[in-house]
Structure 1
Amino acid sequence: MIEAPDRSSDARERAFHPGAAARKPTRLWRPRRVLVTPAALEHAHGRAIAERAEGQGLPVEYLTSNRISAKQGDPGRPYAEAKATLAIVVAPPSKLKLQPIPPSADWRFDLAEGCPAHCQYCYLAGSLSGPPITRAYANLDAILTNLDAYVGRGNVTSASAERAAEGTTFEASCYTDPLGIEHLTGSLSAAIRHFGAWEAPVQLRFTTKFAAIEPLLDLPHRGRTRIRFSVNAAPAARYEGGTAPLAERFAALGAMAGAGYPVGLTIAPILPVEDWREAYDALLADAAEALADVPAPDLTLELITHRFTPGSKEVLEGWYPGSDLPMREAERSRKFTKFGSVKYVLPADVMREMRAFFHERIGMRLPFAKILYWT
């Protein structure tokens, strides 16, 4: 049995304090370069994003072609230059052909691609090609109206008796963190309004490591958007550069639940860090404290252990050459994805031990929560 973390003396000073975190202004991403394609300007939403960027005093470049490329400069800084760039583009037709995204949701759709954060374990490293420029999609109307054709056709929540109450679920954060760029795009607010007005059994889902939730609090969401905050134990959270501090994320969790939103925690990537039992128990205790004043919060948990592929490891080591993130193949189990590619996961005995721990501690710390999956 794990003892409750010490909340006395010095430990109390490090504990989560929702009120103090809520008073701190949230730092917003300010890209050093905003690129606007001609095609994006053909859409009202694209023009609105460009106007937002100009209104915030950001350097906006209006391109003469729809081709996006990284800035030519220091050859040793292509990653940094790309991460500091926002491009306003039109989503290609392939983005309107939705793909299933188990175990999270029935379907994946994208408001943007790329993320301004600097997470040293970023799974996008093995998913996206080229420089990691954040691309916001201008053809938002087409993206949202396209969702109608997919209602009732999924195989995750639509076909599950256990999760049927969620309706057809649409995941908006597979290739981006939509809240991290919301102050520039407004796309997430538009999607929440769309789902709130949609007379169908549907749910919008997104995960975030940011905390600037003020624009979302008063939206007419009608309970059809579930915001999940991606969190990790303190020893692992140091790998999450450029994100909101954990205390701010927990304060935002409480605020969104208080505004009637279904909420969630995505604990990821779970790592067997030093004293991991105590570290993750403290994380769950902070979550419970954040929701202490919310009556009957609708809370889900998604538990995702760390894994990597040879390709993602190579990219990440190029992006973060000084990282000590544990990615030694000899310490992992070698598995194959459904596509036949190799991935490295935690050893089976470690997985069993950690899974049992999380189920026990969640039952004690957050007895009202529903665990959606462990992977």
Structure 2
Amino acid sequence: MFHDPSLPASAPARLWRPRRVVVTPAALEHAHGRTMVERAEALGLPVERLRSNRLTAQSDPDPRRAYAAAKATLAIVAAPAGKLRLQPIPPSADWRFDLAEGCPAHCSYCYLAGSLSGPPMTRAYANLDEILGNLDTYVGRGGVTSRQAERVNEGTTFEASCYTDPLGIEHLTGSLSAAIRHFGAWNADVQLRFTTKFAAVEPLLGLAHNRRTRVRFSVNAAPAARYEGGTAPLRARLEALGRMARAGYPVGLTIAPILPVAEWRAAYAALIADAASALLGVPDLDLTVELITHRFTPGSKAVLEGWYPGSDLPMREAERTRKLTKFGSVKYVFPKELMREMEAALRAEIAAHLPGARVLYWT
């Protein structure tokens, strides 16, 4: 049984300490960039000031060591102009905007594998005022929550965690807190959304969010924990979920990636029951659930097998169904019968343990 959800987290959350921090000249032109440098130095991290705006990874003939070096690097940069042209991000939200790109975690199913070019370092964007100020022109123009009758009450939604985990780097950037304050003060029908596998929510609890930010915790069944290196333990994430809900935030569960692990029915039932225990007694609970099954592309499989050669993550094409995306690329998903079986089982457990939750989608 989950412990008393009203208690604080059992131990302070572990914070990422990059081994290398670099900053470009363009980033130093922005006050937020200089503030991020000050944050890093206050944590005792040496900051390397680059002579140009070009990022280069530390070279190493061993691809595993090169990967590890990149994953241990924080680069403070200015977001390029293309980042200000927002893209729709169905089925999650109307629009995607980026506070950063890259993630310090080591998930062996990483969705960013094959999606981002260059070494997998984390790039935090210094031109935050420009990024947030650019959002106004997109209000009311989305095609997901702005138009779907069942979600129109969410307003125009902006997803901030498509290419990063903003909470995992918040102690170094402060960007997530700034975005929450921005949305809280924004006199418009809007909502900020982000997903996290981390638990250091203390800086967010007292912010004036005005219920315009929905934080979703990415969780999975216990047997899948071995695929989520460098993240907060599941118990800590569920404790953080309860703390954010009690601070008045709309919250959510992103159950992903759903896998047919050993005894998967019981494992996902236990996960959902534990989430219900963490949220027990929350007043005015506003809870959503997003259900995302595991899938992979030939490109992402090749990258992941290079990054995590010892992983037993099931990625055998013969056990999957081959599908084409809307862009014409290939992806591998679970067979239809297994998908139907897993969806029915999870929806039943959610209805039993979290009857007030809205399931936004299954994919």
Contact 2:5 2:279 in 1 (8 A): no
Q: Secondary structure of 1:23's match?
A: coil
Q: Give deviations 1:288-330, integer Å, cap 9, x for gaps.
A: 0000031231000000000000000000000000000000000
Alignment of structure 1 residues 97-116 onto 2, 5 Å: 97-116=85-104
Structure 2 alignment gaps of length 5 or more: none
Q: Which letter does structure 1 place at the counterpart of 2:15? A: L
Runs of 5+ consecutive residues of structure 1 not aligned to the other structure: 1-6, 8-14
1:73 to partner: Cα distance: 3.8
Q: Which residue of 1 aligns with 2:201?
A: 213
Superposed CA RMSD: 1.0
CA contact (8 A) 2:259 2:293 kept: yes
What is the aligned counterpart of 1:35 among 22, 27, 50? Answer: 22
Q: Does 1:23 align with 2:10?
A: yes
Counterparts of 1:370 and 1:171, CA distance in 2: 18
Counterpart selection for 2:41 from 54, 57, 82 = 54
1:197 equivalenced with 2:170 (yes/no): no
Distance 1:168 1:104 in 2: 11
Q: Which residue of 2 aligns with 1:347?
A: 335
Q: Does 1:227 align with 2:239?
A: no
Aligned equivalents of 1:16, 1:209: Cα separation in 2:
20
Is 1:174 the counterpart of 2:162 in the alignment? yes
Partner Cα distance (1:219, 1:324) in 2: 41
1:357 aligns with: 345
SS of the residue corresponding to residue 126 of structure 1 reads coil
Superposed displacement of residue 114, structure 1: 0.1
Distance in 2 of aligned mates of 1:47 and 1:22: 32
Distance in 2 separating the partners of 1:52 and 1:74: 32
* Structure 1 residues 186-210: Cα deviation after superposition (integer angstroms, max 9, x where no partner): 0000000000000000000000000
Deviation at 1:333, TM superposition (A): 0.4
- Determine the C-alpha separation between the residues in 2 that align with 1:342 and 1:21: 45
Structure 1 residue 130: deviation in Å? 1.3
Aligned equivalent of 2:297: 309
Output the TM-score relative to the length of structure 2: 0.98
Pairing of 1:216-365 with structure 2 (within 5 A): 216-365=204-353
Q: Percent identity?
A: 76
CA distance in structure 1 between the partners assigned to 2:76 and 2:259 by the alignment:
35
User: In the alignment, is the contact (CA less than 8 A) between 1:285 and 1:365 conserved in 2?
Assistant: yes
Per the alignment, in what secondary structure is the counterpart of residue 49 of structure 1? Answer: helix
> Residues 231 and 237 of structure 1 are in contact (CA less than 8 Å); yes or no, is this contact kept in structure 2?
no
Aligned pair in 2 of structure 1 residues 220, 21: CA closer, same or farther (>3 Å)? closer
Measure, in 1, the Cα distance between the counterparts of 2:346 and 2:14. 31
Structure 1: distance between partners of 2:68 and 2:5: 33
- Length-normalised TM-score, structure 1: 0.95
Runs of 4 or more off by more than 4 Å in structure 1?
none
SS in 1 for 2:169: helix
For residue 143 of structure 1, give the secondary structure of its aligned residue in structure 2.
helix
Q: Measure how far apart 1:75 and its partner are.
A: 2.7
